[in-house]
Amino acid sequence: KAGVTQTPRYLIKTRGQQVTLSCSPISGHRSVSWYQQTPGQGLQFLFEYFSETQRNKGNFPGRFSGRQFSNSRSEMNVSTLELGDSALYLCASRVRTSETDTQYFGPGTRLTVL
């Protein structure tokens, strides 16, 4: 199976702009989570979507939003970008069975805000 794909891999934006990142999970996986990773704050959970519904949400301002489509692909949007939004944004595809619960990560999107 193909792994988790994220597009684009790199983005440069300026303050005040908005950005949309895309994530395609592993085929058959219905859950997608998003994380922000920065050197200062580490790995921080943004939100999780399951079957087009937001299931869990981290502690981020409303400028950060997401959605999931019927094919399980997910997008996250950041509006009114700030310098502090520069980070690696990671998407994870999640599968749960009777025996385990596992997340598989994509390569990430590196966002730089100037």
Partner 1 sequence: AQSVTQLGSHVSVSEGALVLLRCNYSSSVPPYLFWYVQYPNQGLQLLLKYTSAATLVKGINGFEAEFKKSETSFHLTKPSAHMSDAAEYFCAVSGSTAGNQFYFGTGTSLTVIP
Among 19, 66, 108, 113, binds partner 1 (CB under 8 A): 108
Nearest approach, Cβ of residue 43 and partner 1 (Å): 5
How far apart (Å, rounded) are the C-alpha atoms in residues 103 and 29?
Answer: 10
| Closer to partner 1 by Cβ: residue 77 or 102 | 102
CB of 31 to partner 1, least distance (A): 9
Q: Is 20 in the site for partner 1 (CB under 8 A)?
A: no
Q: Are strands 109-113 and 87-96 parallel, antiparallel or unpaired?
A: antiparallel
Stretch that binds partner 1, among 13-21, 59-67, 74-82, 97-105 (CB under 8 A): 97-105
Give the residue among 54, 49, 19, 20 at the shortest CA–CA distance from 33: 49
Q: How far is the CB of 40 from partner 1 (least distance, A)?
A: 11
Least spacing, CB of residue 16 vs partner 1, in Å: 26
